[in-house]
Structure 1
Amino acid sequence: MSKTTKSLLVQGYEVVIGFETHTQLTTQSKLFSRAPIAFGAEPNTQASAVDFALPGALPVMNKGAVQRAIEFGLAVNAHIAEKSIFARKNYFYPDLPKGYQISQFEIPVVQGGVVEFFLDGEKKSVRLVRAHLEEDAGKSLHEDFIGMSGIDLNRAGTPLLEIVTEPDMRSTAEAVAYAKELHKIVTWIGICDGNMQEGSFRCDANVSVRKPGEPLGTRREIKNLNSFKFMQQAMDYEVRWQIEQIEDGHEIQQATVLFDPDTGETRSMRSKEDAADYRYFPDPDLPPLVIGRDWVEKTRSEMSELPRVMAARFVADYGLPEYDAGQLTQSKATAAYFEAVATASKSPKLASNWVMGELSRRLNAEEKSIEASAVSALQLAALIGRIADGTIANNAARQVFDALWTGEGLDVDALIEAKGLKSMSDTGELETIIDGVLAANAKNVEEVKAGNAKAFNALVGQAMKATKGKANPAQVNELLKKKLG
């Protein structure tokens, strides 16, 4: 079995995955108190009487958190409820001082919506069930070296937006692609900083398998996946484990599991609770949350261009394929860089190819963001302009790009001149070189005449090598075809 479930069927089983994602909102204070939420503070220094649930302390709604929920709803084309209700979700953990968590149950603030993305060039969409506001719990700290445990309530009351999908994903690769797209959306609109290591973006994956056409299988929830790498590994292992259990005649029991990166395995944490186990009931201290249409429309008018809208504009204005547009709108910085290159060079498709190709390759190799690119958008635009007007060929352009990247020079034209990289404009000189290539490769010439396309490509390669990459490949192809009949 493949270790990564990219296909729809794995050993005859269909993979079914749904996601619940906790996004920490970028407010300055907590959901129901004015306590700060800065990461890394000393334990229990950012918790108020409300967070500690001291007698008489009452929650007060954070308007900024509601604003961010509205922005997310608009970003995914969801319905923003005019009235939503807060409930008490009852359970008993040491890090939950009230003995309940304030959340939304029956009527969430964001209802429906869809997240669209590309996977291997194919457009995918995942339906959202809801996104609801809730407060985070505290954190248990276990100090093994002194044999004691403690409670840090700094996170207690931190505002979260929990985003829940339908079980629409049919492979672990699709699930990871969805998570990355969701991460892009919430960071793009600025409602979450997306820091997975600090717990700002935490994913729970509900995984099950079934034979095609059968009812949904029993799901197991993998909790707190805080990196895309571990997310992939955890779901792949869980899929394999469930299939092995079923094939061995065992039934899957609904459970909450944790992923251990050291072993690459999931392990059961507890039996999975249902809503009835939490005894939800409306919070008597909080009135219904009422959101007027004027608030929603004002928010809509003030939001920056969304990635899906920008991608559609790139297709319409620049004539890019949908896939290119989707890749170029992975971040605001990438989109801005591309637009600057496309506008200055007046060659949007070439700009797309270079940003997605050579530039991305360099950035990935050096683990840099596009903001730290050694080649500016205007420099790349100048280079693309020289490719478009025939001054240099692609191979020569890569040499210029390398020189720009390493700081060998700053001016594209000066580098082309200094390195002698201008394309050959003398047709007679090029014909002489091609005649020499044909004479030196008689075997390839015979194979071409016999219909061997690979032999023709070999001759093109030899001709380009002989011109040191200065020839126009299209012109080389044309002359070779002419001489070979």
Structure 2
Amino acid sequence: MKTRTKLFCSCATSFGDPPNTHCCPVCLGMPGVLPVMNREAYRLGVMTAMALGCTINERTKWDRKHYYYPDLPKNYQISQYDRPLGEHGLLEIETPAGRKAVRILRVHLEEDAGKLNHAPGGEECSEVDLNRAGTPLLEIVSEPDITSVEEARAYCTSLRQLVTYLGVSEANMQMGHMRFEPNINLHVAEHGETFATPIVELKNLNSFRAVERSIAFEARRQLAEWDETHRTLKAAGKTTRGYNDDTGETFVQREKEEAHDYRYFPEPDLVVVTPEASWLEELQQTLPELPLAKKDRFVREFGLGEYDAGVLTATIEMARYFEAVAAASGSPKAAANWVTQGLAREMNERGVTAESEADFPVTASHLAELVRAVESGTINKQAGDKVLRAMIDTGRTAGEIIEAEGLAQTSDAGDLDRWIEEALAANPGPAADYRAGKKQALGRIMGHIMKASKGKANPRLVTERLEKKLSE
């Protein structure tokens, strides 16, 4: 979660610092220390539950979840068991077959464990880094509504998009901001009955590719196991497996624990949280327009296609940037084309990514000026591409570059008519072909005009005047 400090102490949550430099007696689990809840983490968690349409619990409490692991210094994790932040929500996802609602069982907060750095060179030891211990985690548990690899990826991408829109997390998966733990089993129909295979939970998947490949492998493995053993969920229970990204295969870690194995009991050092109704109402009002709602509005208000609207709403930064360009240019469709095609192409070629609006290589107002120049006929599209590259390279405005490079199109009727007369005189054959019904012959005459004008003739006006001349 995007908080400056940990869930129950004031240690920083910064990433990549030297091991064990962000620790204190609280996150080290020393005797006699008392945790204090991070208010911002609680706010972000409740906001996420609201965005998912969950019922917000009037009372939230904390619980100790007991298990032993070397990077868990207290030998228990502070989590939420029977009183999570919110319950019974929905996340709408987009799949190849259309939109689908995935039910959300619960949303709760808990603290992260530390990290084990396994020693290189085959040494039989691991080093414990507790910088991450106590970092706030928001766990979102879905109901078993996802039925394919494609739906699983759509769910993961939609969830990542949601939390970044809300500002709850940067969701940088390479930095461990977001992890997925899918539960997988098959329903096999045989002899008029349906049998459920044992459930497998895959732990700590940190990329969409890993989610897709691990689920696909696990489905194949479970089907092969079913054909061999016919073991059912009722007979075999649950198992936890890891995933090897190099081999694309899963491997057994342990038998899956049930709730009673963790010996949950209320955390005695933290009070029950009872948010005021007025605070919840104020928080509800701060929710931004969510991704699918924004996409639908772009289609409805700006007349954009589904694909372009999806690209422009992929991130909150892209959506804000586009809306600024559209408003300043007065041409939403043209603005969409320049953002998704011209600007996106230049950014890809330069390896530029936009983590914020300030990261775009051209300001929204400057790109809007370029859009207006092309739409008004001041320059043509080809010149516009040249101007955009120069804007990125030099930081100058479109107007400055157009003037300095002499790129403005000519719309003067006298000049256009002179070039048309010269082209017709030089191309009597194509002119006769056009008058005979061969419309494609117009292209050769247009090419002559554009060459004679050094690309400055306004093609729209030239086409109109040339067609009129040829019809006389």
TM-score between both structures, scaled by the size of structure 1: 0.77
Q: Report if aligned partners of 1:404, 1:410 keep a CA contact under 8 Å in 2.
A: yes
Q: Distance in 1 between matches of 2:155 and 2:468?
A: 47
Residues 1:31 and 2:7 are matched in the alignment: yes
Once the 2 structures are TM-superposed, how far is the Cα of residue 297 of structure 1 from its aligned partner?
A: 1.3
After TM superposition, give the deviation of residue 359 of structure 1 in Å: 1.5
Corresponding position of 1:418: 405
1:357 Cα deviation from its structure 2 partner: 1.9
Match of residue 348, structure 2, among 364, 368, 372: 364
Aligned to 1:69: 45
Counterpart residue number, 1:274 = 258
Alignment of 1:379 with 2:378, yes or no, is: no
After superposition, the Cα gap between the structure-2 partners of 1:420 and 1:144, relative to the gap in structure 1 and judged at 3 Å, is: closer
Distance 2:300 2:309 in 1: 10
Q: Deviations over 1:272-304 (max 9, x none)?
A: 333343333333443432122112112233455
Q: Are positions 1:163 and 2:147 aligned together?
A: no
The alignment status of 1:347 with 2:331, answered yes or no, reads yes
Matched, 1:105 2:81: yes
Q: How does 1:82-481 map to 2 (within 5 A)?
A: 82-119=58-95, 122-145=98-121, 146-210=123-187, 217-246=197-226, 251=231, 254-308=238-292, 310-311=294-295, 313-315=297-299, 317-321=301-305, 323-370=307-354, 371-407=358-394, 410-412=397-399, 414-415=401-402, 418=405, 420=407, 422=409, 426=416, 439=429, 467=450, 472=459
8 Å contact from structure 2 (residues 431, 442) kept in 1: no
Larger radius of gyration: 2
Q: Deviations over 1:170-210 (max 9, x none)?
A: 43333233323322322332222323222222222223444
Residue 423 of structure 1 and its aligned partner are, at CA, apart by: 6.9
Give distance in 2, aligned partners of 1:186 and 1:96: 27
Aligned equivalents of 2:71, 2:133: Cα separation in 1: 8
Q: Give the 3 Å change call, closer, same or farther, for CA 445–245 of structure 1 in structure 2.
A: farther
Structure with larger RCO (C-alpha < 8 A, sep 6+): 1
Q: Matched residue of 2:42: which SS?
A: helix
CA separation of 1:80 and 1:406: change in aligned 2, threshold 3 A: same
Q: Deviations over 1:96-150 (max 9, x none)?
A: 2332222112221122333335456944443322110111112223224453333
In structure 2, the CA distance between the partners of 1:390 and 1:81, relative to structure 1 (3 Å rule), is: same
For residue 427 of structure 1, report the CA deviation from its aligned partner: 6.9
Matched residue SS, 1:349:
helix
Structure 1 segments unaligned to the other structure (5+ residues): 1-24, 450-455
SS of corresponding position for 1:266: strand
Distance of 1:260 and 1:273 partners within structure 2: 22
Q: Taking structure 1 as reference, are residues 120 and 54 closer, same or farther at Cα in structure 2, changes over 3 Å only?
A: same
Cα distance in 2 between the residues matched to 1:147 and 1:186: 39
How far apart are 1:317 and its partner, in Å?
4.6
Q: How many residues align?
A: 452
The amino acid across from 2:215 in the alignment is: M
* TM-score, structure 2 normalization: 0.79
- Structure 2 CA distance for aligned equivalents of residues 134 and 317 of structure 1: 41
Q: Is the 8 A contact 2:203 2:240 kept in 1?
A: yes
Change (3 A) 1:462 1:293: farther
Structure 2 unaligned spans of 5+? none
Distance 2:60 2:279 in 1: 15
